[in-house]
Structure 1
Amino acid sequence: MYDSDNQYSNFNNFPYDSSARKAEDPYNTVSDRNAGNVAGAPEEPKKGSGFAKKLGTAAACALVFGAVAGVTMGMVSRAVAPKSSVASAESSAAAEVMPNLTKTATKEAAAGSTAGSSEGATLDVSAIVEKAMPSVVAIDVKGEQQVSDFFGRTASYETSGAGSGIIIGENEEEYLIVTNNHVIENTTSMKVQFIDGKSVDAELKGTDSGADVAVIAVKKSDVADETKSKIAIAEIGDSNELKVGQGVIAIGNALGYGQSVTVGYLSAKDRTITAQDGSTGQETKVENLLQTDAAINPGNSGGALLNMQGQVIGINESKSVDTKVEGMGYAIPISSVTELINQLSSQKTRGTVAEADRGYIGFRGQNVDNEAAQKFNMPVGIFVYKIIDGGAAAESELQENDIITKFEGQSVSSIEDLKEKLTRYKKGETVTLTVKRPSNKGYEEKEIQLTLKGQDSMKNATAESESKDGQDSRDSGSERRNSRGDSGNRSDSNSGDNSNEDGSLFPFQW
């Protein structure tokens, strides 16, 4: 129970010694007698001296017994007492001897504990939020959606939405803001609200639907000097250095109520999810995502996911919504899209072009989503079913059976993506399409340039094309009827397959 050098662990080290006590005994009769002998002869003992000797001996024994009992009981008491009590007593004694040193050490330990708590994102992150909040903005968007009723009549109505963004840079004329593509797609106008609540109009720089990343811009001339003094460019971190279990902070315009903060941990890396486009219903597989239990709600999309140094390490993307799911949010690792963000930031800033001035390509196409791509071993993109005579595509190297994968260097995965981008381009502008073309080796990538044509020319080209298609369809129908007459009844499925060849399954035309 005690160390070997403890004075109470060895009876030989008790604070008394019988031999020493005996030498100092005042009842040492030999010594006393010698001291009182004048002639040197032995002195006759006085009356009662035997009783006095016995009494002295008894008193000495009692004294020795009392000392032994006291030390023994002290040892037993110390052995039975809890270690914490002993340690407390020793600590108190040490504190009395060195009070200043003890207090200093306590303060240092407390400071270390606080720092550890902040790094773990378990307590106070206000300093980190105060540093990062000026670089996060709220984005309010408006769009227009068309719907058709049972009788084929169409009507359009205005839509609105909210999201978040991160100020990632600036040039001489603009502040550059990164967000998600799904936040700003199919919009007619955008407004950015800064930390002080002031809002200004924003325009598109570039988007990439495949990566779900977009860059928008705000003119510096539209931003008040007071607001400029309050905003900041975000500090970008390295998402490749992240470790699962590290603390993270999400900031964004949750539910459109304004900026809010949630805290959690990095739950996993390299996650793959299947996301559904709210406007088209098309499912898209998104890979290489960060998973976190920090709450990410509608409106948080495009906002910042921060590390404990206040650096942006992710762009908030989405969350899993299900009654069986709790705390599964996702973000795009910032390091995986840094090059793309730089590319989009260098694009020309474009606003929405009036419909009469918009440019068109002139083809009929069909979406190739992930499911179709896997089933038919095709690239994801827009399958060019037919080139319209008189359109811009007819005067370019674009061919039928090409699959369009990029427009002006920006990924497109659907007709809707391409349509949204074309709303910002005027007729007469020259654009570049990236296509995958079938070959003996599979698909080869090619870049094709074409000059967009206006709506009027598209209408004329469409009318001529539809007239020609109608004649071809009638001729094809006549041949099918003759064929059925010659060889007997064919299956309805064959007839249906042939009817698809007139383009009825490919309604998109741009």
Structure 2
Amino acid sequence: MNSGTPVQTRPNGQGVLHALLVLVALAALLLVGHELPPQPAPSDVPATIATPPPPPPAPLDPAALSARIVPTIVTITATTGPLTTAGTGIVLSPDGLILTNHHVVDGAHDVDAVAMATGAEYDTEVLGYDRFRDVAVLRLVGADGLPVAPLGQSAGLRLRDSVTAIGNAEGGGVPLSAPGFITGTDESVVARNSTDGTRNRLTGMIEVDADIRPGDSGGPLVDAFGQVVGINTAGNTGMRPDPTEATTGIAVPIESYALPIDDAVAIADQIRSGRGTATVHVGPTALLGVAVTDVGQSQDGAKVVAVGVASPADQAGIVRGDIIVSWDGRPIRSQTDLTVEMNTRKPGDRVDIGWLDQSGQRRTETLVLAEGTP
């Protein structure tokens, strides 16, 4: 054998294995350099199907509307000397917080109420009032567990919306319903108190063609869904001919007016919080003991037209015909000025009052206010 001739050999098993490892390593490097994006995991939350919103509530028929509202009102009887005034109240809380009109309890010595839910009779306490907006808040003494009126909102009311006035019409003690439509919003009206003839200009009122009658005052004006949207305040006092029925003489009700519930609840909340203002009185009423009117355009002051016997004004020497011109050093230019000053006072307060007697002489006295009626 020629040892100088090279000898060719076959690769053994270790060489093959080494080659395979090299290929695997190269493949691994390729995979690392080109990593595939992760695939999202299948969701285990079931797909939801959108459902339509619930349909709007259906209007109530008259029977259902009365059944919803009547248990949440009270009938009111206010006694002023020999006179009685009938009215209605709306239950605001289970313990007998009542919303009504100020003119229902104005000047009353006794105010009684009957809850329509139970027929129970209650004495009442006047917690406060706003005579300018014709709102009063009462509490039924000893009441508990009364159903509360469903309050709506008056801000969204529109012309021709269907409404129903419910109340103690004509003082019969049996709540009656008067359906109608809204004929105006943000209206102004001069209301006359049927008891004493005094007048009050009311603004921002809801005008309706429902037949609101004496005794309905303070009761709820409700929408078609049984939500209280107003307080019946000024009713029609007569009938006017229907121009479409000139030949038959048929008459239709003159428009009536309700205070928006949004305004009334705001006043009630203020009274409940104990925050009195120039228009909102809280607590017992102070008494001066005079009835006054404006003097006229030619002279400032509040002219005295009546003086209560043994009242603080009477004891100070004020008589009919005198003109009150100052209150604790502030000028009194009108009847309203005196009303505002009295509204912020409590029984027992001492005030300096100035007036002109019938000879034109200026007089001033310090007097103590007594406790009077609302």
TM-score normalised to structure 1 length: 0.46
Q: 2 CA distance for matches of 1:162 and 1:218?
A: 16
The counterpart of 1:345, out of the listed 272, 278, 285, is 272
CA shift, 1:349, in A, is: 7.8
Higher relative contact order (CA 8 A, sep 6+): 2
CA shift, 1:177, in A, is: 0.6
Name the structure 2 match of 1:276.
192
Name the structure 1 match of 2:148.
233
Name the structure 1 match of 2:330.
399
Match of 1:191, SS? strand
The counterpart of 1:178, out of the listed 99, 102, 109, is 99
Q: CA 1:396 to 1:285, structure 2 compared with 1: closer, same or farther past 3 Å?
A: closer
The counterpart of 2:161, out of the listed 243, 246, 249, is 246
The answer to whether 1:197 aligns with 2:112 is: no
Name the structure 1 match of 2:71.
134
CA shift, 1:293, in A, is: 2.0
The answer to whether 1:312 aligns with 2:228 is: yes
Q: 2 CA distance for matches of 1:233 and 1:314?
A: 15
CA shift, 1:360, in A, is: 5.4
Q: 2 CA distance for matches of 1:343 and 1:382?
A: 29
Q: 2 CA distance for matches of 1:376 and 1:336?
A: 36
User: Is the 8 Å Cα contact of residues 72 and 90 (structure 2) preserved in structure 1?
Assistant: yes
Deviations along 1:198-229, whole A, 9 cap, x unmatched? 1110010111111111111113xx23x6xx3x
Q: CA 1:333 to 1:360, structure 2 compared with 1: closer, same or farther past 3 Å?
A: closer
User: Is the 8 Å Cα contact of residues 152 and 229 (structure 2) preserved in structure 1?
Assistant: yes
User: Is the 8 Å Cα contact of residues 367 and 413 (structure 1) preserved in structure 2?
Assistant: no
User: Is the 8 Å Cα contact of residues 294 and 335 (structure 2) preserved in structure 1?
Assistant: no
CA shift, 1:247, in A, is: 1.1
Q: 2 CA distance for matches of 1:281 and 1:127?
A: 37
The answer to whether 1:501 aligns with 2:357 is: no
Deviations along 1:5-42, whole A, 9 cap, x unmatched? xxxxxxxxxxxxxxxxxxxxxxxxxxxxxxxxxxxxxx
Gaps of 5+ in 2: 1-54, 242-251, 275-280, 305-311, 317-323, 363-367, 370-374
Amino acid at match of 2:108: T
User: Is the 8 Å Cα contact of residues 250 and 263 (structure 1) preserved in structure 2?
Assistant: yes
CA shift, 1:317, in A, is: 0.8
Q: 1 CA distance for matches of 2:115 and 2:91?
A: 10
The percent identity for this pair of structures is 24
CA shift, 1:426, in A, is: 3.8
The counterpart of 1:211, out of the listed 133, 137, 148, is 133
Q: CA 1:255 to 1:306, structure 2 compared with 1: closer, same or farther past 3 Å?
A: same
Amino acid at match of 1:214: A
Name the structure 2 match of 1:143.
80
Q: 2 CA distance for matches of 1:280 and 1:500?
A: 30
User: Is the 8 Å Cα contact of residues 88 and 168 (structure 2) preserved in structure 1?
Assistant: yes
Amino acid at match of 1:343: Q
User: Is the 8 Å Cα contact of residues 179 and 302 (structure 1) preserved in structure 2?
Assistant: yes
Q: 1 CA distance for matches of 2:229 and 2:258?
A: 9
The counterpart of 2:93, out of the listed 147, 169, 177, is 169
The counterpart of 2:177, out of the listed 261, 274, 286, is 261
User: Is the 8 Å Cα contact of residues 203 and 350 (structure 1) preserved in structure 2?
Assistant: no
User: Is the 8 Å Cα contact of residues 293 and 334 (structure 2) preserved in structure 1?
Assistant: no
The aligned runs of 1:42-191 (5 Å cut-off) are 119=59, 124-144=61-81, 158-169=82-93, 174-191=95-112
CA shift, 1:314, in A, is: 0.3
Q: 1 CA distance for matches of 2:149 and 2:287?
A: 38
Which structure has greater helix proportion? 1
CA shift, 1:246, in A, is: 1.2
Larger radius of gyration: 1
Q: 1 CA distance for matches of 2:150 and 2:200?
A: 30
TM-score normalised to structure 2 length: 0.61
Amino acid at match of 1:287: T
CA shift, 1:184, in A, is: 0.3
Q: CA 1:382 to 1:235, structure 2 compared with 1: closer, same or farther past 3 Å?
A: farther
Amino acid at match of 2:137: V
Amino acid at match of 1:398: G
Q: 2 CA distance for matches of 1:303 and 1:344?
A: 19
Amino acid at match of 1:335: D
RMSD: 4.3
Q: CA 1:232 to 1:452, structure 2 compared with 1: closer, same or farther past 3 Å?
A: farther
User: Is the 8 Å Cα contact of residues 290 and 333 (structure 1) preserved in structure 2?
Assistant: yes
Gaps of 5+ in 1: 1-111, 145-157, 353-358, 431-450, 454-460, 474-498, 504-508
Q: 1 CA distance for matches of 2:62 and 2:291?
A: 51
Q: 2 CA distance for matches of 1:141 and 1:200?
A: 12
Q: 1 CA distance for matches of 2:193 and 2:217?
A: 14
Amino acid at match of 1:313: V
Deviations along 1:171-208, whole A, 9 cap, x unmatched? xxx42111111100010011111012211100101111
Name the structure 1 match of 2:214.
298
User: Is the 8 Å Cα contact of residues 269 and 291 (structure 1) preserved in structure 2?
Assistant: yes
The aligned runs of 1:15-26 (5 Å cut-off) are none
Name the structure 2 match of 1:24.
none
Q: 2 CA distance for matches of 1:183 and 1:260?
A: 18
Match of 1:337, SS? helix
Deviations along 1:365-409, whole A, 9 cap, x unmatched? 84349xx5xx5798xx9589xx98x97x9x9843344657589xx
- The count of corresponding residues between Structure 1 and Structure 2 is 278
Match of 1:134, SS? helix
